Amino acid sequence: MPSRFLSGCGLAVVACAIATPAIAQERQFDIPAQPLPGAIASLGRQAQLQIVAPDYGLEQIRSRPLKGRMDARAALRLLIGGTGLEVAADDGARIVLRRVRVSEARLAVPSDGAAANDIVVTGFRASLSKASDIKRNSDAIVDAVAAEDIGQLPDNSATEALARLPGVQVFRNRGEGQAITIRGISSVVTMINGQEAYTGSSRRTLLNSYPAGLIRSIEVYKALTPDLIEGGIGGAVDVQLRQPLDFRKGLSVAGTVRGTYDDQADKLMYNGDVLIAGNWDTSAGEIGVMVNASYTRRDYYESYRENLAPQTSTAGYSFPSGILAKNPKGRYERPVLTGEIQWRPAYNLGLYVRATNVTDDNTYTDTDFQTNIAASTVLRNVQLVDGTNIVKTASFTATASSGSRSNYTRQLLDTTQVEFGADFTSGIAKLTTSAVYTTSRVETDQQLFLLGFNKAPTIDAVFQSDSKWGGLSYSYPGVDLADINQFHVRAYSDTRERQKGKGLQWRTDLELDTGTGFFRSFKTGFRYARRTAAYRSGTGLVDLNSLNLPMSAFPGGATPAVLSRRPGGDDAAIPTGWVGYDATYLNSEANVIGLNNYIRTLKGMSGYFTDEGRPAFDPINAFDGKENSFAAYGQFKYGFELGGVPIDGVAGVRVVNTWLSIDGTQSIRENTPTTGGTITRFAPIHGHQNYVDVDPAISAVAHFTPQLQLRAAWTKTFSRPDFSNLNPTVALVQVQTASGDYTGVATAGNPDLKPVRSNNWDLSLEYYIGNAGSLSLAGFYRDVNGYIVRTKVTDDGIPGALGTVDVTKYVNAGDGYIKGIEVAGSTFFDFAPGILRHFGASANYTYIESEQNLPATAVTAAFKGQTTGISKHSYNASLFYDDGKFRAKVAWSWRSDFTLSYNLTDPTKNLNWYPISRLAASATYSINRNLSLTLDGTNLLNRPQRAYWGTKAFTDRVYFEGRSYSAALRFKF
């Protein structure tokens, strides 16, 4: 029996071993579109020709359909055109294929002995080409970002790169992109090398923790196939790191040294990464070893002024409940280390072990000056915004509780993932298996030191100013905010939070290539996952206002810090400096314990901290969860012709059984007027669930021409609730009335929460131009059921309750939809004359319309509105130049306004964001084949983010991030 094209990792395989053919003889070929290994095998069988090809990394490349009468060489040229393969040798009886290092995400470091006809392509063209290949050949609906070269993603982190893709929106905070949504949905599965990844007790990992230097490509799955991991109604993000057998034989070394300057932080930061990989043929088989390390430091300094949530006075005026000048400041330090050993002892057997450690060591030293305004405050010299009851300007006397706040937070996130895997191929069968162990912890410690005025000051405020960006402008006439004698210590808090997550994943997959009929291949497999999640939190909040103590009486307070605000291009008149506690004193636990122990000696303050000098963990802010899931799936690839148009696709189903248990604590506090006593009792509380999800999926691709194809897909997906929402903890307070009856209020989690489920329809028309160009038009519809919201309900089933209880908790409430279109295109101007052919452009536009329906509750009416966090319009546009020696890019992104949060009892407190736009640029010069120099700039226009309450006449905040400039030297040998 002719041997099958066998998938592995780096050894050539024989597609068909037949006696010497007449290679020039014309034959009738009929090879449908399918994964490239199967297509090469089919051509070998039909041509009775021996074909030797690289057998790793080709499974995701989809061949063009090939039908007609021609000789074998012509058929092979058509089949492998644009796939990154070329003919290396042809003796008439045997053809050997090799990789052309073109459009490959697996970009090898070229050897000094590279053949003259080897083509080495990097830069924007390679990045666009590989991303286009991934999208074109995938069985799922996917978009991708691929590295331009080793250690060179088009942006400097995974999150920033994702922001360039159609349908992906990123919310920025603390100097970087953080939360993402895919087509308006934040619930997505995050994967590293195809395996689920998470941080602490959450269900997702922080993608901004992964620097560009470690990433080969990022794939965003917008419609899932049954073989992909479940758990995200929005889809999945798979960050592909590099592997040792990606590289040429011998030793490869590559890396980056980068310096970055942030103009608002006024800091110069140094970052770098290094990769060392070896790939050798030995008597024991092919062996690859790789170590890839990265260190990222990011100092940021933000600046914003804010009107706090609106309130209405007895006179009917709408004005802020407080005003705030704030400086979020901090530093991220992220060492990342990944290593892998791959061993292929035989052409059809491969094994590997991979380990990755990601550490986030983050420090925040925020400072702000907050002035609280009571609703009963008497406003003087009032001027309203035209046509509204919103106060534009006023003078008033602030409460004495106003003053500076100094915050010190240290957050340590540490995640380690170890993976073992193997693959085996025999004939038409390919078997893969892998096991992954993950351990992750998050430790957060936060101290907050608050000052208050000794004497309530007078404030002249312009809540809605005529400055360039609008919003707050104010002053304290006659008050020196840098004079420590104006203030006393008002309050102090110390919080510690601990999260732990551990998990084991084991999956096995079997794929059978069944031929060229209707059923092209069959794939089945299972995945077992077990994980634990633990959470603890405790806070000591001390009201020191009545003691009227100066800051100098406290450890660390003898030398006050004058905290200055850097406006960052803002022209509004607000305080630019004030005195406060130097929070950097709290950068050691010994100093924190010393401060806490001093506070324990003050009158009436002994019970806020333990004998160890830290707050005790609160039993009602704790949970321990265990979750198991078992998934089994089956899918087949099919193909046929309809009216001369080849059609292929995937159909199958994934069945998932999830069972979980979660433990917390219930507290019951009873106030009994008849006895004048208060009793608090604690008791363990337990929750558990067991449910099954059946998620079918079917997709089809119609290949009108080799360049034009239409995709359609229908899928069902689900997302599990977060562990923090499943926490069964209940805090119940019940009061006995004079009649002897009890009334109660409670806050709680909800261990009975069900998954959010979605029916999904997708359509995508795609046209591919050359190696790096494409145009696409996609439409999508998501029918979502079971949104999780926090609201107040009446519940008579609370354990220990002596009457009806109004409980605030998470519930599955309402349904909704998300629909939209995506338009995307990218190309190089190869058709243009001269230097113009080195230019290119890419652009995409996304339109999203959404609706969320929430039923009436005990305190809110039924609600219908747009889903939070989603911009209706967003686009990205880039213009680039790449001649091989020099490349440059200018990139612009924009998203329209969106609602961040709703207040269902008072719509004037809905928090909305204005449109956000950003401009970035980069340029790279290749000094020689081993060295290149890159210059980057981000947020070049320095436009602030802005928000408003309810109506644009009531500005919430004006928020400046700062611009960053960097220079990087890249090397590869």
Among 769, 767, 772, 771, which Cα is nearest to 880's?
Answer: 772
> pLDDT band at 151, cuts 50/70/90?
low
On the question of pLDDT at 6 being above 80, the answer is no
CB 121 within 8 A of CB 202: no
3-state per-residue secondary structure call for 533-586 = EEEEEEEEEEECHHHCCCHHHCCCCCCCEEEECCCCCCCCCCCCEEEECCHHHH
pLDDT at 54: 72
Mean pLDDT value across residues 905-927: 91
Residue, of 7 and 67, whose pLDDT is higher: 67
- What is the rounded CA–CA span in Å between residue 867 and residue 852? 6
pLDDT at 4: 34
Mean pLDDT value across residues 422-446: 94
SS3 state of residue 676 = coil
- Per the DSSP assignment, residues forming a β-bridge with 411 are 362, 444
3-state per-residue secondary structure call for 740-798 = CCEEEEEEECCCCCCCEEEEEEEEEEEEEECCCEEEEEEEEEEEEECCEEEEEEEECCC
φ/ψ of 726, rounded to 5, equals -80, -10
How many Cα atoms occupy the beta-carbon half-sphere of 582 within 13 Å? 14
Token pair 């009545």 is found at 546
> pLDDT band at 23, cuts 50/70/90?
low
Mean pLDDT value across residues 877-883: 92
On the question of pLDDT at 668 being above 90, the answer is no
DSSP class of residue 291 equals: E
> pLDDT band at 118, cuts 50/70/90?
very low
> pLDDT band at 110, cuts 50/70/90?
very low
Structure tokens at 960: 């400046």
Q: Which fold has domain 12-99?
A: Phage tail protein beta-alpha-beta fold (3.55.50)
CB 344 within 8 A of CB 416: no
Mean pLDDT value across residues 321-350: 92
Angle (CA) 438-439-445 rounded to 5° is 145
CB 533 within 8 A of CB 441: no
Name which of 180-189, 295-304, 736-745 the model is least confident about: 736-745
Task: Count how many residues are written for the chain.
Answer: 973
Name which of 296-305, 574-583, 862-871, 928-937 the model is least confident about: 862-871
Residue, of 577 and 445, whose pLDDT is higher: 445
> pLDDT band at 890, cuts 50/70/90?
very high
Rg, the chain, Cα only: 31
SS3 state of residue 682 = strand
With left for phi above 0 and alpha for psi between -120 and 50, is residue 402 left, alpha or beta?
beta
Residue type, 67: K
Burial class (CB in 10 A: 0-12, 13-18, 19+), 692: exposed
- What is the rounded CA–CA span in Å between residue 868 and residue 407? 29
Among 388, 625, 637, 376, which Cα is nearest to 511's?
Answer: 637
In tens, the pLDDT along 524-538 reads: 999 999 999 999 999
- What is the rounded CA–CA span in Å between residue 187 and residue 180? 9
Name which of 346-355, 628-637, 793-802, 835-844 the model is least confident about: 793-802
pLDDT at 104: 34
> pLDDT band at 447, cuts 50/70/90?
very high
Residue, of 849 and 178, whose pLDDT is higher: 849
3-state per-residue secondary structure call for 595-664 = HHHHHHCCCCCCCCCCCCCCCCCCHHHEEEEEEEEEEEEEEEEEEEEECCEEEEEEEEEEEEEEEEEEEE
- What is the rounded CA–CA span in Å between residue 117 and residue 103? 16
pLDDT at 516: 72
Residue, of 352 and 3, whose pLDDT is higher: 352
Mean pLDDT value across residues 752-779: 92
Cα–Cα distance list, 498 to 533, 538, 618 (Å) = 11, 9, 12
Residue, of 950 and 93, whose pLDDT is higher: 950
> pLDDT band at 177, cuts 50/70/90?
confident
In tens, the pLDDT along 559-593 reads: 888 877 666 678 888 888 899 999 889 999 999 99
Token pair 């199967």 is found at 38
SS3 state of residue 104 = coil
The beta-strand segments (E) located in 76-167 are 85-90, 94-99, 141-146
> pLDDT band at 96, cuts 50/70/90?
confident
In tens, the pLDDT along 179-234 reads: 888 988 888 999 999 999 999 889 988 888 888 778 888 899 999 999 999 999 98
In tens, the pLDDT along 787-811 reads: 888 887 777 667 777 777 788 888 8
On the question of pLDDT at 540 being above 70, the answer is yes
pLDDT at 565: 66
- What is the rounded CA–CA span in Å between residue 340 and residue 789? 42
Mean pLDDT value across residues 287-302: 93
Alpha-carbon dihedral sign for residues 260, 192, 124, 162: negative
Mean pLDDT value across residues 859-881: 86
N- to C-terminal Cα distance for the chain? Answer: 44
Angle (CA) 387-392-393 rounded to 5° is 140
Mean pLDDT value across residues 422-439: 93
- Per the DSSP assignment, residues forming a β-bridge with 629 are 529, 658
Residue, of 112 and 491, whose pLDDT is higher: 491
CB 55 within 8 A of CB 13: yes
Residue, of 48 and 882, whose pLDDT is higher: 882
DSSP character string of 53-75: EE-SS-TTPBPPPEEEEEEHHHH
Mean pLDDT value across residues 397-419: 90
DSSP class of residue 378 equals: P
Mean pLDDT value across residues 327-340: 93
How much of the chain exceeds pLDDT 90, in percent? 52
pLDDT at 113: 34
Alpha-carbon dihedral sign for residues 512, 513, 516, 522: positive
In tens, the pLDDT along 939-958 reads: 998 899 999 999 999 999 99
> pLDDT band at 20, cuts 50/70/90?
very low
DSSP H/E element including 524: strand 519-543
The beta-strand segments (E) located in 902-963 are 911-913, 916-926, 931-938, 945-949, 955-960
Q: What is the mean pLDDT of the chain?
A: 86
Token pair 């329809």 is found at 761
Domain residue ranges in the chain = 12-99, 305-328+366-617, 626-747
pLDDT at 566: 65
Mean pLDDT value across residues 760-772: 90
Name which of 19-33, 466-480, 826-840 the model is least confident about: 19-33
Global pTM value: 0.83
- What is the rounded CA–CA span in Å between residue 613 and residue 362? 23
The alpha carbon torsion through 314, 315, 316, 321 (nearest 10 deg) reads: -60
DSSP H/E element including 181: strand 176-182
The beta-strand segments (E) located in 105-198 are 141-146, 168-173, 176-182, 189-192, 195-196
